[in-house]
Structures are given as C-alpha cells and as structure tokens.
Amino acid sequence: MEIVFKSQIRPKNLLHLNDVLAPDPLGTLSALVYTIRDATFAPCFTEEHRLFLRSHLQALQIQETLFRHVIKNLTVEWVPTSKQKAIIHTAYHGYADNRIEGAFYKYGGLYGIVALLLVFKDTDSILTQFRAIEVEAAQQFLISNVSRLFRNQGNHWIHCFVPQGKLSIVKTKKMSLNQLI
C-alpha cells in the first residue's frame, strides 16, 4: 500500500511523501499524525491494531533516541574490540539466531549488527527496549530503519567488518551480547 497526496494547485496530480515533505515538513508530519489519531477512533480499529501502532511508535522512538544519535556521531576511526568482532563473526555465521544480535544481522545485515554494537557501546538499554517491542514486525521495522540510516551515512568502510574465514571462537555460540561487550 502506498499513501499519496493531492496537489492543492492541481488536484488531479498525485504526490508522493517526499514531494510533500520538501516544501512543508512540519505541516505534512502534522497531517500524518492527525490522520493516525483519527484512525484510532474508527470503529474497525481493534486492540490488535492499537498494539501494532504502539509497537511501531516504540520502534521509531528507539530509532530516534538511541540509533540516530550514535550513527550521526560515528567516525571512521572506530575500531571494534575483539569481543565486538566476535559478535559480528557469530551473527555473520548464523550462530546468534535466537538473540538480539541475530535479529539485527538477519534483518539488517552487516549494517544492522554494526549499528547495534555502536549503540550498545553507549548503553545496554537497547536490550530491554528491543525486547519490550511486542510485535515482531515492529522489531523488523526498527532494524530495517536503523540499517537504512547507517547505510545512508555513506559508511563505505563497512566492508572491513566482513568476517574472514571460519568462526574461530566456537564458545561465542553460547555467549550473550552482554558477555561479549
């Protein structure tokens, strides 16, 4: 599904979000927020829909409060520790599927797992905040957004994080993110 906007000047012209945001970001965002608010009063809006909305808003809040700040201030000089490299290696080889780092790698690839490590360097609250998102689709939404943010920063040096060779630290399979960092 795609939301399009009508041009006020030419009502038959349909505009995409970027076309509307550019000239009036605050007005457009305000209209979107009021549209969401109005939808919550619709008779067809169930508790399942409310949970979906709350979870996605929670994901956006995590994106903005934790990830955007870290990614914005990222420098090329960051060198991962051996423990952080082990986390990347573990996720890359699929040994962390049932943990947060596995989810970040699965839905965000290398950008996702590196972004997670950068945030985790600043705060471990990401673990509890991520687990508090009740809808898995909202967790995937967060990871996808974070990976996109990171990718859009022009981090061309990301290739240096691609693990080479076989996993040499087998015991990392049983370690958690807290233990490795």
What's residue 162's pLDDT?
61
- Domain co-membership, 152 together with 85: yes
Give the separation between CA 26 and CA 86, rounded to whole angstroms. Answer: 43
DSSP 64-103: IIIIHHHHHT--TT----HHHHHHHHHHHTTTTTTSHHHH
Structure-model confidence comparison of residues 99 and 178, the more confident one: 99
Domain enclosing residue 21, as ranges: 5-40
What's residue 159's pLDDT?
61
Q: Does residue 15 have a pLDDT over 90?
A: no
Mean pLDDT to the nearest integer, 67-71: 83
Q: How confident is the model at residue 174 (pLDDT cuts 50, 70, 90)?
A: very low
Residue pLDDT, tens place only, 40-50: 899 999 999 99
Give the separation between CA 180 and CA 35, rounded to whole angstroms. Answer: 44
**Helical H segments across the chain, by residue range:** 17-21, 25-40, 47-62, 68-72, 82-92, 100-122, 125-132, 136-152, 177-180
- Domain co-membership, 113 together with 146: yes
Residue pair 178/143 in contact by the 8 Å Cβ criterion = no
Q: Does residue 88 have a pLDDT over 70?
A: yes
Q: How many structural domains is the chain composed of?
A: 2
- Domain co-membership, 174 together with 97: yes
- Domain co-membership, 30 together with 55: no
Q: Does residue 51 have a pLDDT over 90?
A: yes
Q: Does residue 160 have a pLDDT over 70?
A: no
- Domain co-membership, 84 together with 126: yes
Average pLDDT of the residues of the chain: 80
Residue pLDDT, tens place only, 121-153: 888 899 999 999 999 999 999 999 999 888 877
Q: Which of 2-16, 82-96, 131-145 has the lowest mean pLDDT?
A: 2-16
- Domain co-membership, 167 together with 97: yes
